[in-house]
Amino acid sequence: MPDPTDDTPRDPLALDYNGWLFWQHATPEQQQAQLRRQEGILRRAKGAIGERTFISELAMVEPTEFTLGSDSYVAAHAYITGTVNLGDDCTVNAFTVVRGTVTCGDGVRIGAHTSILGFNHSTAPDRRIYLQASTETGISIGEDVWIGSNVVIVDGVNIGSHAVIGAGSVVTADVPDWAIVAGNPARFIRDRRAPRKAGRHELAAALRDFGATAREQVGAIIARSWEPDALAADGTSPGRYVDAPGSQATLRAHADAVELSMLLTAEPPRQLTREQHIARLRENQDPATGLTPLLVDQRHAEAPSGFDDGSAHYHVLSLGYALDLLGSRFEHPITAVEQYSLDEIIAVLDGQPWKDMGWSAGSGVDTLGTALLWNLRIGDAETARRQANVLIGWLLANARRDTGMWSAPRLSDGMLQVVNGYYRAVRGSFAQYGLPVPYPERVIDAVLDHARDERHFGPGRTTACNALDIAHPLWIAAKQTAHRNAEIAALAQRMATETIARWRPHEGFAFRVAPLGGPQTDEHRPGLQGTEMWAATLWYFADLAGASESLGYRPAGVHRPEPAFDLSER
């Protein structure tokens, strides 16, 4: 009886198809013949072949330049021509074609029936196809790459190290390091370094549990940011809201408390009655400009001089939407904007710092667009409607065709200002008025590229602002196109999972994710702003992943997904 532990090949062609067995099981005669074959190849092509390497006699190997590193093999019926340089521990399996200029690092595994074509043909109409001139850009493949069976990789593609190419894929674009891609054309599936994500059902369960926990604890989280003995702006008590214990009292903190409580409980924070909340948020609005100044030493500062005084801009959003959630509104329209002529609206937009400070420019648009929203409701609606039309028209006319955004990247921080400014500008315009954004596919490309920037999304390096500024643009653009939707869903699921893990029981979320060494600044400790922003951002990630219904809440204030006003209504 044959020994079941003896794996010596019996078929005479077995070693040609299973090259990894050659140097273990080949006879001395076969080994000498293999070395002569390698010498013959190198007489016809310059290059080098490493030790313990095997090239099947049944493979067609006729390159002009050829390097094959140690412990590599080329199996039967492979077809290799051109300038081909492969590293150590590389495998070219049966019926695989490698032609043109192709370079691979160490540890590249190429599945059977794959075609890696580092050249192409022109298609000019002046001659028949077989007479066309060839072009050759070349293909570069990093190290530690797995290429499945029946894959096609076309000329000009660069595949990063540690990538995985799924079986049957057609790779027409560059593949980044660590990426797992698949499909025709190949699309990003996930980052190989990330643990394999639980399915949507597991994410849904985690979101359900988080939503229940957040609703249970939100009262205590808001209460820890309430200072009952702090003076009101008019010098009276009771109390003021701070972002976190020990912070200065602000109207922004009060608005965040309202947003958070209404988001999770549909009721105002219990420290004040609904009427008291409304009175606090409306007090000291400057009737001449409609703007509300900041608090200084728990009292309001001097009234803003006009819209160009940016210190009070965010109150247009935070106080306005908090009042809206409470069933109220500003007492006065935003006169600082209402008085602008249409030419002055254009001048305001032209005057934003688009070139160097995209976030500030986007913030200016957000404030302008939201001021118009309140004026449409309580001011001169026809004037506000004309101003809104000019605002939208300017944004459409000035959107960049390469990214769909309005600023250019900077060497210092890449796309950070561009994407963050885009979110703010779109939130106050296209999103707030329910209008489609221009160039949605380019927006998605730009945001996904930005989301890979380790400077802003590496371990311990992101903020609630940065996360929201990728979640919302992806969400609004994905409503218009299916472009890269699998990649968006994968990113959203990872970000949602990571967000849930950062919840601090009975304290909420910190605005800024603490570095690996632990919290270092006030922004690393939980507060109202971080909790409100991360809770809303989590909804967007969950919705992109197809599981938002499990949270049990839906943003309704500043971060509402629905339009706040339909400009087409008369």
Rg (CA), the chain: 31
531 near 506, Cβ under 8 Å? Answer: no
Q: Do 187 and 486 form a contact (C-beta atoms < 8 A)? A: yes
Q: Could you give the C-alpha distances from 389 to 72, 368, 569, in angstroms and in order?
A: 65, 12, 13
CA atoms within 13 A of residue 230's CA, in its CB half-sphere:
22
Task: Please count the residues of the chain.
Answer: 570
Biggest alpha carbon–alpha carbon distance for the chain: 102
Task: With CA atoms as reference, report the closest residue to 284 among 251, 249, 241.
Answer: 251
Q: How far apart are CA 56 and CA 22, in angstroms?
A: 10
Judged by DSSP in three states, 429 sits in helix
Residues β-bridged to residue 81: 62
d(CA 327, CA 325): 5
Q: Catalytic: which of 25, 77, 121, 201?
A: 121
Question: For the residues of 252-281, what is the DSSP string, one character each?
Answer: HHHHHHHHHHHHHHSS--TTS-HHHHHHHH
Question: Token pair for residue 563?
Answer: 């339009």
Q: Is 456 a catalytic residue?
A: no
Contact predicate 72/90, CB 8 Å: yes
> 269-276: long-range contacts at Cβ-Cβ below 8 A with a sequence spacing of 24 or more?
269/222, 269/226, 269/241, 270/219, 271/222, 271/223, 271/226, 271/228, 271/239, 271/241, 272/238, 274/326, 274/327
In 247-400, alpha helices (H): 251-265, 274-282, 313-325, 335-338, 342-350, 358-378, 381-398
**In sequence order, what are the residues at sequence separation of 6 or more whose Cβ sits closer than 8 angstroms to the Cβ of residue 561?**
475, 539, 540, 543, 554, 555
Helix (H/G/I), strand (E/B), else coil: 300: strand
β-strand partners of 48: 67
Provide the CA 472 distance to its chain's centre, in angstroms: 10
On the question of a cis peptide bond just before residue 195, with omega within 30 degrees of 0, the verdict is no
Catalytic amino acids?
A: 121
